[in-house]
Structure formats: structure tokens, C-alpha cells
Amino acid sequence: MCGIVGYCGPKNCTPILLDGLKRLEYRGYDSAGIGVESEKGPLVVIKRVGKIAQLRAAVPPTLQGHCGIGHTRWATHGGVTDTNAHPHQDMSGKIAVVHNGIIENYGPLKKKLEQEGVRFASETDSEVLAHLIAHYYRGKLEDAVGNALRQVKGTYGIAVIHLDEPGKIVGARCGSPLVVGVGDGEMFLASDVAAIVSHTKQVIYLSDGELVSLSASDYSITDIDHNPIEKSVDEIQWDIEEIEKEGFFCYMEKEIFEQPDSIARTLSGRLDIEYATGKLGGLNMTSRELLAVRRVKIIAAGTSWHAGLVGAYLLESLARIPASAELSSEIRYRNPVVEPDTLYFAVTQSGETADTLYAMRELKRKGARVLGICNVVGSTIARESDGGVYTHAGPEIAVASTKAFTSQLAVFYVFALLMARMRDLSFIQGQRFVEELQGISAKVRETLAQRDRIQNLAKKYYRARDFLFLGRGIEYPVALEGALKLKEISYIHAEGYAAGEIKHGPIALVNEETPTLIIVPRDSLREKTLSNMKEVKARGGPIIAVCTGEDEEVKAIADDYIPIPAVDELFYPFLTVVPLQLFSYFCALELGRDVDQPRNLAKSVTVE
């Protein structure tokens, strides 16, 4: 959450900052601001509530400068006001700071500074940093930042400029991502490579406890005690076109329709046709070590947790390994028991999700082997895990995750195949599994062809105030995901349940005004799910069914249905989730919601 961008070089920094913030808007869109070392002398800070468009309108076209920082905010401390927006300044107006994260001890720090005569302008914890840096400033910004950060408890990704040291940006991180962009006679700093990929593909990922000093022509990286650190320069592997809408109405629509390709990228090179198994070299585990695994535990949050629930079901069904998926926000504070033969997966699109990162660190502290599944190269979880898998889904800009979910599924399917072939799955069974995986992208594309049907259903049902989503077995997590999507982007209340649980309470919610969306593919649990459909129907509840083809029994019960192609029953989650994503998307459009940037939400949640 929140986005940072900085620039120093020969170009006018103002349009670079504004364009960078626009590309980071998915990380926070309550308010935004820039701080520019103007050519006329003073440090110019402009901040506005609202989207980047509001900020852009407030910035004079004559504002010129060669060094500056910008920020787009997702509020944590203090209301959404111009004053609480970043950058924050010290009383002299010479220092400007942008900050992602939470300063946990800002209360006592603020009190101490106020006792020394400092006057605070905002309600935020972040403003403490500006005054604290000013307190320690003695002519060298790096020293002041390092001294200030030694007093801080919490998480931060910061960028700082000082009018007395023009052309310099100092950045530091602890728990909130920062990346340095190395250009030709210019340097960049950002919380996400999306902000800078149009200018350079050469990047350096900072780690926790590191501080960087940038000028137009050079950079140096140290710890906060100023001990030098050597870092390698990496290359971004995707292009600016991948974060453009490319003719789609919004990013979410684009990312839903990218799924045939994103799944194919995830699977590329990871299916061993000759031996009918999976290949995941990044696990950093030998066959003997994998064979010794007796249990798998998956930690994740939100959509990634739902993917983990599918993965756990798959591992037990296919590989016969006990598996479970748990919410990472609960793991850290539960004093988890770590067993020596248990393998953990930390699953996150961004690789920066705070809950999952802290849970991973707690598990590793207890001696667990934790592998990461994430989409962002160079992310914290990718670097700190014991190994893992990149999903290669491509940049996901919409706050509500779609293609990341199916790419995470693809990783779990490959891993389950790998583990199953080492145990009880025969070569012939492995071949069939590989064939199903190879064909799944085409089946997803076929499912997407139901777009118009689903849009018409959304027009029929979008006025409903409540929805139930039901699924059984491996489809239960898909029901949870469908309900989450509808809540996230349409603000319609929705609940996902295991279909068998409806009679244990949720059936009390069924009435003529509460539609139930039931996932009922042609699988081994179909008859049971049909019974649940009849229970809903008997109580007057409207039913939308996601079913395999023209299922006449389903059609006889449901008010409406969405057909999907036939696949082996273990593979239906790839297909059943797509209509739910589209249904949520079209309901949100009918209601006039901001689909890509829904209220109160932000991408890459880096605070607990």
C-alpha cells in the first residue's frame, strides 16, 4: 500500500513523478503529492486529496526541477486530507519526506519533539520522520536519516530530499519495498518497478536495513550505520506495454482475459512430458528431501489463501500428503508448532504482503523450511524464502486479484503432480494429468467466451443486496473467492460457504431477494450439490448455477446457468472461478463502481 517515486537527473522531474505516481495509483489512491527542488530555489510541495488527476491539475505547468519525490497514499494514520498527504516537511521547509509503512513509536517520538518546540502540521505518524531527520541534520543527509531511523520502531520505505543538498535523494527500507532504478545519467527510486520501467530496466532491490543515496550520476548503498553494501543490478523482464490497458475498459477486465496466457506462462517449462511429472527447480530441494516431506502447510491471505485451500485439497487428493492452508495473519500470533518433516509455502502475489512475510519469518525462526510462491521478482518473500516459484503472471494492477489466483493454482498443480509421481501416481495417470494441464489454457479461453451471457446475468441481479456462493470439495475455495470478488469491487454483501453447510445456518438467509450462486460441475459431488440446490429452490431463493455444458438437471432447478467446458474434476477450479470473476466485474460496472481501485482497499498490503 502507498506508492513512492523519486527522480534525480537532467530532465524535468515533475512529469516523471506524476506519471510514476499514476502507475502506482493501485497501491493507494486516497491522496497524493510531490516535492520538487524547483529551479527557482525553494522546495515546492503540492498535495491533494483524491486520485492523481486531482494532483496533476494542481501542479503548475511551469514547475521545473531536476530532483524530486512523490507519494500516493492509502491512509493508515490520520484522515484523508491535503495536510495528511505526503510529502511531509520539517518546520524549516527544507526537508521533504515520503513514507510507506507504520511508525509504531511515533507517539513518544512526537511528544519528545513537541517538548523541544517542534510544531506538527498533520495527524500522521509519518511527519515524525521529517522532524526527526531535521533534528539530527548536521550537513549530511545520509547521517541524519541513519540517526533518525535508529530511533524508529516499525516499518518504513522512505525517500528524503533536503534543499541544502540539491540533486540528492536518500532512501531506506524496513518492511516496505524500495527499488533503485539505474538510468543513463539519471537515477530513480520507487516502491514498485511499475513506476520506473518506462525509463529503465536496470534495478537494484533494497533489503531491510539498507539505505541508499542517489545523485544523477551515482548511487551508494549502506546499512543505517553507513557500512558499505555491494548489491547486484537486476533486469526487469517485462515491458511497459504489460501495464497498459491495451483497449480494455479497465485493468481488471484485461487481467481476467489475460488468464489463458498467464496460466500458460506459469506452466511453461514446468511439465516433464517424458516422465509425466512436474519440474520446479527453484524449490532448492533434492528428490530425497521432497520424498521425506510428510505434511504441507500453506500460509497466505485473501485470494492467495483461497488458492492455497485448493492447493491443499489437491495435495491430499492427488499426492496423498496431509495438507492445510492457514491465514498468515493468524499464524504469527498463535505460536505455531513446527515439525521437522513439514514443508511450508508462503503464497502472495506481490511478495511483500506483511502478514505473510511476518508469518514466514516466525516459521523460519522456529526452523521451518518455507518456500515462496509469488509473482514479483526481487520481492522480499522471494529473497527471504528458502526457495520457491515465480508465477510469471505478469504485472497485476487491479486491486482485486484475478490472474494471480489462477497462476498460483497452476503452481500448486505442478507441485502436486511432482509429489504424486514420487509416491503413488502411475506414469499413465501422470500423463493424463499433464495432458489436462496442457489443455487448461484453451478451456479457460473457451469459458471467457461466456462474457456476454454473464454480463446479462449481472444486469439482472446487480440490485441484490446479498449473495450466497456455494461449492463443495475443491470448489468450496472457489465459492469463497467468488464471494470475495463480489464484495471487493461491487460492495454487495456476499458470503461463501461449503454447500453441505447450508443447512447448518446459512439457509436462514435464503429468500426471494437473495440470489445463490452455486458451483455444480459434473464431478463426483454433483448429486450432493444438486440436493443443496433443491433446498435453496424450495425456499424461493433465485439460483445461478455454474455447470458443465448444458446440464439438463441443473437447468431444471436453476433460474439461470453459466456453462463451462468439461475437464477432469480436479481441474474445474481453473474454469469455475472465471464466471465468478466476470460476474463480479459486471455487477460492479452496473453499480458504477471504480473497479480497479475499490474503496478502502489497496494492492500490496504492507502493514498488518
Measured from the Cβ of residue 341, the count of other Cβ atoms closer than 10 Å reads: 9
3 strand-pairing partners: 72
Rounded CA-CA distance 591/241 in Å is 29
Please tell me what DSSP assigns to residue 317. I
What distance in Å separates the CA atoms of residue 451 and residue 322, rounded to the nearest whole number? 38
Mean pLDDT within 301-320: 97
In this structure, the strands spanning 65-73 and 88-89 are unpaired
- What would the pLDDT profile of 40-80 be if each residue is shown by its tens digit? 778 999 999 999 999 999 999 999 999 999 999 988 878 89
Q: What is the pLDDT of residues 472-516, one digit of tens each?
A: 999 999 999 999 999 999 999 999 999 999 989 989 989 999 999
Amino acid 262: pLDDT:
96
Q: Where in the chain is the domain with CATH 3.40.50.10490?
A: 249-443, 449-595
> Dihedral of CA 180/181/183/188: which sign?
negative
**The pairing of beta strand 202-205 with beta strand 31-38:** unpaired
What's the confidence (pLDDT) of residue 607? 60
User: 107 Cβ partners below 8 Å, 6+ apart?
Assistant: none
Over residues 283-305, mean pLDDT:
96
Torsion angle of C-alpha atoms 140, 144, 150, 156, degrees rounded to 10: -100
d(CA 114, CA 179): 33
CATH 3.60.20.10 domain range(s) in the chain: 3-236
Question: Quick one: how far is CA 68 from the chain centroid?
Answer: 27
Are the C-beta atoms of residues 413 and 437 closer than 8 Å to each other? yes
**CATH domain 449-595 topology:** Rossmann fold (3.40.50)
Here the cell at position 485 is 470478488
pLDDT tens digits for range 313-366 = 999 999 999 999 999 999 988 888 999 899 999 999 988 888 999 999 999 999
pLDDT at 511: 92
Distance CA(582)–CA(464), nearest Å, equals 17
Alpha-carbon radius of gyration of the chain = 25
Alpha helices in 35-139 (DSSP H): 52-58, 106-115, 127-136
Q: Shortest CA distance to 33 belongs to which of 15, 52, 19, 20?
A: 52
Q: Do the beta carbons of residue 544 and residue 518 sit within 8 Å?
A: yes
* Mean pLDDT (the chain, rounded): 94
pLDDT at 247: 85
Q: What is the model's pLDDT at position 606?
A: 60
Helix or strand holding residue 210 (H, E): strand 210-214
Catalytic residues: 2, 603
Q: How confident is the model over 160-183, as a mean pLDDT?
A: 94
375 close to 402: Cβ distance less than 8 angstroms: no
Residue 1 pLDDT: 67
Strand ranges inside 219-276, DSSP E: 219-223, 234-235, 271-272
Burial class of residue 528, CB neighbours in 10 A (0-12, 13-18, 19+): middle
Residue written as grid cell 527447480: 281
pLDDT in tens, 440-460: 999 999 999 999 999 999 999
In the chain, helix, strand, coil percent, each to 5?
A: 40, 25, 40
- Which segments of 465-523 does DSSP mark as H helices, in order? 476-490
Residue given cell 506452466 in the structure block: 267
* Rounded CA separation 44/338 (Å): 53
Closest CA to 357 of 395, 301, 303, 407: 301
Peptide linkage before 87 cis (omega within 30 of 0): yes
> How far apart are alpha carbons 112 and 114 in whole angstroms?
5
The 3-state DSSP class for residue 568 equals coil
Tell me how many helices (H) and strands (E) the chain has. 19, 26
Distance CA 382, CA 293 (A): 21
Confidence of residue 604 (pLDDT cuts 50, 70, 90): low
Instruction: Characterize the bridge pairing of strands 3-8 and 388-390.
Output: unpaired
Phi/psi for 552 (5° steps) reads: -65, -35
**Range from 154-168, 180-194, 239-253, 384-398 carrying the lowest mean pLDDT:** 239-253
Nearest C-alpha neighbor of 594 from the set 53, 48, 80, 71? 53
Class of the 249-443 domain? alpha beta
User: What are residue 197's phi and psi, to 5 degrees?
Assistant: -65, -25
Residues 6+ apart with CB under 8 A from 600: none
Angle value at C-alpha 385, between 384 and 391, nearest 5 degrees: 110
CA-nearest of 432, 270, 418, 275 to 343 is 418
Angle at 59 between CA 57 and CA 63, to 5 degrees: 145
What is the predicted pLDDT for the residue at 239?
A: 74
pLDDT at residue 471 is higher than 90:
yes
User: What pLDDT, in 10s, does the model give residues 90-147?
Assistant: 999 999 999 998 999 999 999 999 999 999 999 999 999 999 999 999 999 999 999 9
The answer to whether domain 3-236 has CATH 2.40.30.170 is no
pLDDT digits (tens, 9 = 90+) for 530-552: 999 999 999 999 999 999 999 99
Cβ(95)–Cβ(28) below 8 Å? no
Separation CA 23–CA 481 (nearest Å):
26
